[in-house]
Amino acid sequence: MPVVSRRSVRAGVGVVALTTVALLGTATSAFACHTDDGRAKPIPGSVTKCDQVGKKGQLSHEDVTFTGGDGEKYLNITAVGEGVKITEIVVEGGKDGYNVYQPGKLADLPWKELRAPKTVDNKDAKIDHWFLCGSKTEKPTKPAEPTKPTQAPTSSAAPTSAAPSTSDSAAPSSSAVPAPAVDAGGANGGGLANTGFDNGWLIWVGALLLLGGAAVLTLLKLRRRTQ
């Protein structure tokens, strides 16, 4: 029989020990990220965005109606917003991994008790965070209503009367009294306005008085000479 040296035995024991540790580590890692929810796919690691799970289209929590979530053991989605299409629901917690849910593998709404993977000691983990991947179609905006025309004034409204013109071109009133004509070279001789009074006889009266006076003076002279 061949003799086995102590050195060979020690080497073999070391190889077995290393192999055992590696297998235990692998088993521990596999056990660390597991779930009791058959609807979910547990994945080791940590993610916060859809592109980290190979998906596009980050949605908001406001795109769904839900209860639970962060800090709770379960997430319940009861309604999805109009125009929203969800492709993945990612729920992470316990620092051991995250669960990926696909709506096509879930029953009809509501989607209840979505959760994070189990902890290393096989306990339910609280949810650290969760997010949604998918797309959203914006609701078309309603066209603005045409502006209503303003109401036309009623026919009973009295028209605004125009103010009378004060320009010189306005026609004179029929009741206006014409101004008296001015006699430039008449008997009054003064260029005054003619009042309608005929004073031509005063000239003759004045002439007779002058003649009478001259006659009186002549008679007085004759009497003085005859005396």
Using alpha carbons, select from 79, 77, 90 the residue that is nearest to residue 42: 90
What predicted TM-score, i.e. pTM, was given to this entire model? 0.52
pLDDT surpasses 50 at 155: yes
What average pLDDT does this structure show over 53-62? 95
Rounded distance, CA 214 to CA 217, Å?
Answer: 5
Neighbours of 47 (CB within 10 A): 16
Rounded distance, CA 96 to CA 31, Å?
Answer: 10
pLDDT in tens, 2-50: 454 555 535 444 433 444 434 344 444 445 689 999 999 999 999 999 9
pLDDT in tens, 180-227: 444 444 444 445 455 555 566 778 878 888 888 888 888 888 877 776
DSSP strand E in 105-191: where?
A: 111-114, 127-136
pLDDT of residue 47: 96
Question: Scanning the structure block, which residue is given the tokens 């009266």?
Answer: 205
- Distance in Å from the first CA to the final CA of the chain: 228
pLDDT of residue 19: 43
189 Rama class: left (phi>0) / alpha (psi -120 to 50) / beta: left
Average pLDDT, whole number, for the chain?
76
